RNA sequence: GCCCCGGUAGCUCAGCUGGAUAGAGCAAUCGCCUCCUAAGCGAUAGGUCGGACGUUCAAAUCGUCUCCGGGGCACCA
């Protein structure tokens, strides 16, 4: 509808140009907006005000001329000029009715479009290190990423969802060492746990599995483990140096094969839990992309070579640096450490180069906002490699702060005590969690009210929307109980009887739905859909209270049933895009 | 010090690629179930859009400065 009106205005402007009333070369970016106030009709156009100055005439007069030259359109009942020069379009009451038939024929496909047809987009999100369970911060990225991906798919993009598994770096070695030390404690050795180790309870669990499956086979005396190591932080040493030495000692004592065994057990256990968590949360991936596979395929070495050839790397203090400042970064970055190990950044360059090599039209990374400083260096690397960094969008998700009883229920990674995603899901349920996470735009620091998310009352927007869906289903159950025969075609033929303002408002909202999906998708803003669904639910509840649906008049009843059936479909479609269920009864 | 995000009703937030009288929800007050789920609806009240200056016919929206809150500035990932 927006497009059709836009074309009317376009045609009128064209006519005015031909008649010499407007300069021929006048740029006209026609914007048709939905009005906020119904008094201003259904759509408004501000073009007259935009062109008034360049055309050197009074905006209201120009609006008059534009209106006078508008071609007719059946759906438009009235065009008015208002305010400083707005052109307001009023639609005929019948113009929205056809949406119901459209929804019936498209069903769960109503709202989908072809905007992104033929274009591929890769969406990488969560990608938490498999060194511990997902916490509530990851949950926001998961819910947001999943909805963004689903929205993009809804508007026709070929979407590839990916989780980058950091199964190679030093953090994984620290995990392996932590598991082994806990295992040694289970064996009865007395261990002073390193400051930098992973202290969460899940490490004990993995260690217990290790002990159960291997008995004392991996046991070494505490003396042999700690002999000759540098001091840990509490003793005045450096915790990083200390943990590296501890990892080296573990390798030495266990040997390659046993060390791998510990390492793999840690990785596989945690990754398995992460997969299960996300799956239960309704988050699916096409690919779990392993960092190790990147390394073993030589991709990291290859990309370092490419950077060397590009002339943007240099050696300093025994390390290899990438001069990212040449491409807008604040400082140069190390890609190969003094000890010969490549940095996480080096892997990430290889990974991003690989993404582009795979030929995606768009690449989207969804990161926690604490990584924002990382964006310029990744883009710098792509530029240095001669890749098109404009294909990459990095969406930063701000933190979520949990509140319980009006007080912060915050996590502290240090002690290993944090609220996990699983705890959150168990507490408030998947639906509430998915919806709450996505209710706020991602740049917004979010206050996640646990009590509100849990409450099964009107305060809770998730239940409010789901209730609207369930209520409609309930009406149809009532209909069957009362042995009322529904005739959908008769309803379609009687849509003209839907003359109440509640009905017009509801139909208009249904018409609007595809526009909302498209806008939410293109702007990566699922919260827009969340807000829309709340409005739609509100219109339904209002209508429900104002009018009975199961009335005696067969024609009117079937028309109304068609309207609420269509509403039910749209509620279900919208909730699905947000990963929230649409229950038939509550 | 530099960079990113936020500051809109008592609370949580929309609106921000400039448009008409700044909107929701919750909380508050008052109403509505012999009737399809009251997990609902209606009404009332609530605002110097953090502040200042600027650009514009028009600024919550754009620019500069400033104040407050959160985060980031590693040979960690």
pLDDT, tens digit (0-9, with 9 covering 90-100), for A329-386: 989 999 999 988 899 999 999 999 999 999 999 999 999 998 999 999 999 999 999 9
Same domain, A389 and A404: no
Q: Does residue A104 form part of some domain?
A: no
CATH classification of the domain holding A87: 3.30.1360.70
Residue A56 has a pLDDT of 77
Rounded to 5°, the CA angle A29-A30-A35 comes to 135
Which nucleotide, over all strands, has the C1' atom closest to the CA of A340? B75
Same domain, A79 and A137: no
Q: Report the distance from CA of residue A112 to the C1' of nucleotide B58 in Å, as an integer.
A: 36
Same domain, A318 and A331: yes
Task: Round to whole Å and give the CA distance between A399 and A485.
Answer: 52
Could you read off the pLDDT of A458-500 as tens digits, one per residue? 678 899 999 999 999 999 999 999 999 999 999 999 999 999 9
Q: How many residues belong to chain A?
A: 586
Query: How would residue A236 be classed by pLDDT, with cut points 50, 70 and 90?
Result: confident
Strand partners, A396: A367
Q: Report the distance from CA of residue A144 to the C1' of nucleotide B33 in Å, as an integer.
A: 40
Residue A417 has a pLDDT of 57
List chain B nucleotides near protein: any atom < 7 Å from a Cβ: 2-6, 12-15, 17, 19-21, 23-27, 32, 35-42, 57, 69-77
Nearest to A184 by CA among A262, A269, A242, A268: A262
- Give the residue whose CA sits closest to B2 at C1': A330
- The DSSP call for residue A371 is G
pLDDT of residue A24 exceeding 80, the answer is no
Residue A273 has a pLDDT of 96
Residue A17 has a pLDDT of 84
Q: For A381, phi and psi rounded to 5 degrees? A: -65, -40
* Structure tokens belonging to residue A555: 């024609």
| Burial class of residue A72 in the structure, from the number of CB atoms within 10 Å of its CB (0-12 exposed, 13-18 middle, 19+ buried) | exposed
Q: Report the distance from CA of residue A546 to the C1' of nucleotide B41 in Å, as an integer.
A: 8
126-145 of chain A touching strand B, CB 7 A cut-off: 129
77-96 of chain A touching strand B, CB 7 A cut-off: 82-84, 86, 88
Could you read off the pLDDT of A170-200 as tens digits, one per residue? 889 999 999 999 999 999 999 999 988 998 8
Query: How would residue A407 be classed by pLDDT, with cut points 50, 70 and 90?
Result: confident
Residue A412 has a pLDDT of 46
What does the DSSP assignment read for A395-419? EEE--EEEEETTEE---BTTTTB--
- The DSSP call for residue A342 is B
Same domain, A498 and A541: yes
Which nucleotide, over all strands, has the C1' atom closest to the CA of A545? B41
Domain C-terminal end among A280, A295, A315: A280
Same domain, A154 and A294: yes
Mean pLDDT of A504-524: 94
Cβ of A500 near strand B (distance < 7 A): no
Q: Does residue A543 form part of some domain?
A: yes
Residues 6+ positions from A20 with CB-CB distance below 8 Å: none
- Helix, strand, coil distribution of chain A in percent, nearest 5: 55, 15, 30
Cβ of A375 near strand B (distance < 7 A): no
Same domain, A246 and A158: no
Residue A457 has a pLDDT of 66
pLDDT of residue A139 exceeding 50, the answer is yes
Query: How would residue A429 be classed by pLDDT, with cut points 50, 70 and 90?
Result: very high
Same domain, A484 and A517: yes
- Give the residue whose CA sits closest to B22 at C1': A36
Which nucleotide, over all strands, has the C1' atom closest to the CA of A452? B26
Nearest to A322 by CA among A265, A529, A309, A566: A309
9-38 of chain A touching strand B, CB 7 A cut-off: 35-37
Same domain, A444 and A497: no
Write the CA distances from A142 to A329, A421, A422, A423, integer angstroms: 28, 10, 13, 15
Same domain, A197 and A58: no
Which nucleotide, over all strands, has the C1' atom closest to the CA of A541? B40
Mean pLDDT over each residue of chain A, to the nearest integer: 91
Could you read off the pLDDT of A111-123 as tens digits, one per residue? 999 999 999 999 9
Same domain, A175 and A263: yes
Nearest to A35 by CA among A83, A72, A67, A68: A83
328-357 of chain A touching strand B, CB 7 A cut-off: 330-331, 333-334, 337-339, 341, 343-345
Q: Does residue A115 form part of some domain?
A: no
Q: Compute the half-sphere exposure of residue A557: CA atoms within 13 Å on the CB side of its CA.
A: 12
Task: Round to whole Å and give the CA distance between A451 and A328.
Answer: 45
Full residue range of the structural domain in which residue A29 is found: 2-91
The total domain count for chain A is 5
């Amino acid at each position: 509808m927006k497009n059709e009106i836009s074309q009317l205005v376009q045609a009128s402007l064209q006519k005015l140009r031909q008649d010499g009333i407007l300069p021929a070369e006048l740029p006209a970016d026609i914007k048709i907006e939905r009005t906020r106030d119904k008094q201003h009709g259904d759509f408004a156009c501000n073009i007259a005000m935009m062109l008034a100055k360049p055309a050197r005439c009074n905006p209201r007069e120009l609006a008059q001329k534009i209106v006078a030259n508008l071609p007719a359109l059946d759906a438009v009942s009235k065009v008015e000029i208002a305010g400083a020069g707005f052109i307001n379009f009023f639609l005929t009451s019948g113009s929205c009715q056809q949406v119901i038939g459209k929804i019936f024929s498209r069903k769960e496909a109503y709202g989908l479009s072809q905007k992104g047809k033929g274009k591929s987009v890769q969406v990488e999100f969560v990608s938490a290190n498999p060194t511990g369970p997902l916490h509530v911060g990851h949950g926001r990225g998961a819910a947001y990423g999943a909805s963004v991906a689903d929205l993009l798919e809804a508007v026709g993009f070929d979407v590839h969802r990916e989780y980058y598994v950091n199964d190679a770096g030093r953090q994984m070695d620290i995990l392996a060492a932590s598991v082994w030390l806990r295992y040694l404690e289970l064996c009865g050795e007395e261990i002073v746990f390193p400051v930098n180790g992973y202290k969460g309870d899940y490490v004990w669990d993995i260690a217990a599995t290790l002990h159960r499956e291997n008995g004392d086979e991996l046991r070494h005396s505490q003396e042999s483990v700690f002999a000759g190591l540098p001091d840990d932080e509490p003793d005045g040493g450096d915790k990083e140096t200390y943990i590296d030495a501890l990892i080296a000692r573990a390798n030495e004592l266990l040997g390659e094969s046993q060390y791998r065994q510990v390492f793999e057990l840690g990785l596989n256990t945690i990754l398995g839990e992460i997969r299960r968590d996300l799956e239960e949360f309704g988050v699916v991936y096409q690919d779990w992309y392993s960092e190790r596979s990147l390394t073993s395929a030589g991709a990291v070495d290859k990309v370092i070579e490419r950077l060397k050839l590009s002339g943007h790397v240099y050696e300093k203090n025994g390390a290899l640096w990438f001069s990212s400042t040449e491409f807008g970064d604040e400082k140069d970055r190390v890609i190969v450490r003094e000890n010969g190990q490549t940095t996480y950044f080096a892997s990430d360059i290889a990974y991003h180069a690989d993404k582009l090599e795979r030929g995606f039209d768009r690449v989207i990374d969804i990161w926690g906002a604490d990584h924002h400083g990382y964006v310029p260096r990744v883009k710098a690397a792509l530029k240095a490699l001669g890749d098109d960094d404009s294909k990459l969008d990095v969406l930063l998700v701000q933190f979520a702060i949990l509140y319980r009883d009006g007080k912060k229920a915050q996590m502290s990674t240090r002690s290993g005590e944090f609220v996990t995603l699983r705890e959150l899901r168990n507490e408030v349920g998947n639906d509430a969690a998915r919806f709450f996470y996505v209710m706020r735009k991602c740049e917004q620091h979010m206050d996640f009210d646990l009590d509100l998310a849990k409450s099964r009352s009107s305060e809770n927007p998730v239940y409010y929307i789901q209730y609207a869906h369930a209520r409609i289903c309930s009406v149809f159950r009532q209909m069957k109980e009362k042995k009322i025969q529904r005739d959908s075609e008769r309803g379609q033929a009687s849509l003209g009887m839907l003359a109440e303002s509640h009905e017009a408002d509801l139909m208009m909202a249904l018409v609007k739905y595809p526009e909302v999906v498209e806008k939410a998708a293109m702007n990566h803003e699922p919260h827009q859909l969340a807000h829309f669904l709340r409005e739609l639910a509100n219109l339904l509840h209002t209508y429900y209270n104002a009018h009975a649906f199961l009335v005696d008049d067969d024609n009117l009843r079937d028309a109304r049933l068609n309207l609420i059936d269509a509403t039910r479909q749209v509620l279900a479609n919208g909730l699905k895009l947000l990963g929230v269920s649409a229950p038939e009864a509550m």
